[in-house]
Amino acid sequence: MAFKIYNTMSRTKEELLPLDGEHVRMYTCGPTVYNYAHIGNFRAYMFEDLLRRYIKFCGFKVTQVQNLTDVDDKTIRASIEQGIPLKEYTKTYIDAFFSDLAKLNIEPAEHYPAATDYIPEMITLIEKLFEKGYAYQSEDGSVYYSIDKFADYGKLARLDREGMQSGARVDQDEYDKDNAADFALWKAYVPEDGDVVWDSPWGRGRPGWHIECSAMSMKLLGESFDIHTGGVDNIFPHHEDEIAQSEAATGKPYSKYWMHCGYLVVDGKKMSKSLGNFYTLREIMDMGYTGREVRYELLTGHYRQSLNFAFKSLDANRAALKRLDEFSVKMKESMGSETEASELPVWAESTRARFAEAMDDDMNISGAMAAIFDMVHAGNKALATVPITKKEAVAISNLWEELDAVLGILERPEEEIADEVMELLKARTLARAEKDWSESDRIRDALAEFGWTVKDTPEGPKLRKI
């Protein structure tokens, strides 16, 4: 079996073969911390989480770097407007970002470099570009990259250089540049930047946006690494420019694979701050949805497809997750205190292979989920006639755990049951024994107020969190 991923560079699916054979080094474009990230942003981080988890499932090691863009036009403008120092301003949103990642059960990357901590590396990189003749300083003091010097410019986005046309926005300092499409490596200081400024060989200023990713990725992962990820909107110009800067400076290939995820859309339109059609995770959770339900939503659409966000789907996910939870609980109850696993029951024998086969094909998550639901279905059916042995239940639980290392949705944390809830349950059982149905129903309502439903089964009453 081989894990195949779609490489935007070649526009084909290629087998993932790490440069050093065993260790996958990946770089992920992270958030610009000027505000709360919306769940469209998290769609990308979720894709990257699934990717790193599946890479590990395949037996590779992973080192992932995700940057924090804590200096750019938006962060500077907002911090000045609010009269808060930049570092302090961005800290709020950096903290919120990590808190949201945790709620979505996204595995932490190995490194989260902040742009402002890597200014010297960026300056070194720009100096190299000057040495090699790719950089020039314009009259306003800013430093630009000359795309005409880099023959491969446009290879990722497959740009038609001649066809880049007028529909494009007009850059204000166009006339300072050799080519209107040249991009900034270093931006000369302007009063609007307030006290956000660093010294450089070309005068005071701040780095351009693209250079930070090149500098931090190569510093932490090496001049050539395996996978670079981001949303499709980063293909051009951001990733194209990263390639131009990095490969021009080192003369080596930059990232071996480029992977891009599709958008989250709302009513057919891309979710974005400018359209105002966005939701933050905290807003959705305030509406009563859990991080796990949102995770399921973001996870279960294929990453290269645009994903239509709708609360209706979140409601549907709740039912689907319940089905998985029921099965999971059933297995836990069946295994008791047994720890030794036997062979899997026949109805689960092919599940892992089917799951892996689907995921190997560029992370076909729908196929992978189908394998799991098929197992649940076959299992439920089989259990109606042939009880599962304790050791088989252990084997299923082990499988479940292995698959959930990739998905991060199957396991649900144990719910703590308060003493008073237990008392109510006892009282209700007593009432039922005495066939006092009105008292029994009254207690059921009382339990609901504590957030629990009770189900009466042949083995006695069972509590479930609503």
Partner RNA sequence: GGUGCGGUAGCCAAGUGGUUAGGCACUGGAUUGCAAAUCCAUGAACAUCGGUUCGAAUCCGAUCCGCACCUCCA
Instruction: Looking at residues 128 to 167 of the shown chain, list those that interact with RNA (rule: CB under 7 A).
Output: 147, 157-158, 160, 163-165, 167
For 8-43, give the DSSP string.
TTTTEEEE---TTSSEEEEEE---BTTSPPBHHHHH
> Rounded to whole angstroms, how far apart are CA atoms 406 and 300?
12
Q: Can residue 205 be called a binding residue for RNA (CB under 7 A)?
A: no
Query: What is the residue whose two structure tokens read 């080519």?
Result: 179
Q: Take residue 286 and report the two structure tokens written for it.
A: 């305030």
Single out the residue of 66, 71, 62 nearest to residue 32, CA to CA: 71
**Close Cβ partners of 116 (under 8 Å, ≥ 6 residues apart):** 70, 71, 86, 87
Nearer to RNA, 311 or 342 (CB): 311
231 binds RNA (CB under 7 A): yes
Least separation, in Å, of the C-beta of 21 and RNA? 28
CB of 373 to RNA, least distance (A): 4
Contact pick of 140, 199, 326, 415 for RNA (by CB under 7 A): 326
Nearer to RNA, 82 or 457 (CB): 457
If one asks whether residue 18 binds RNA (CB under 7 A), the answer comes out as no
Site string for RNA, 430-459 (x = CB under 7 A): --x----x--xx--x--------xxxxxx-
> Residue 45 has which token pair?
């981080």
Shortest distance in whole angstroms from residue 214 CB to RNA:
13
Give the contacts of 428 (CB within 8 A, at least 6 positions apart).
439, 440, 443, 444, 447, 454, 461
Instruction: Give which of 90, 10, 42 is closest to 295, Cα–Cα.
Output: 42
User: In the bound complex, what is the minimum distance in angstroms from residue 378's beta carbon to RNA?
Assistant: 7
The stretch among 19-27, 249-257, 263-271, 398-406 that binds RNA (CB under 7 A) is 263-271
Only segment of 24-32, 89-97, 115-123, 415-423 that touches RNA (CB under 7 A): 24-32
CB 225 within 8 A of CB 255: yes
Pick from 94, 96, 92, 72: nearest CA to 84: 92
Task: Give residues 301-320 in contact with RNA (rule: CB under 7 A).
Answer: 301-302, 304-308, 310, 312-313, 315-317, 319-320
Cβ proximity to RNA: between 250 and 350 the closer is: 350
Smaller CB separation from RNA, 91 or 432: 432
Which one of residues 14, 107, 127, 171 is an interface residue with RNA (CB under 7 A)? 171
For RNA, which stretch binds (CB under 7 A), given 14-22, 251-259, 368-376, 404-412?
368-376
What is the DSSP secondary structure assignment for residue 339, as one 8-state letter? -
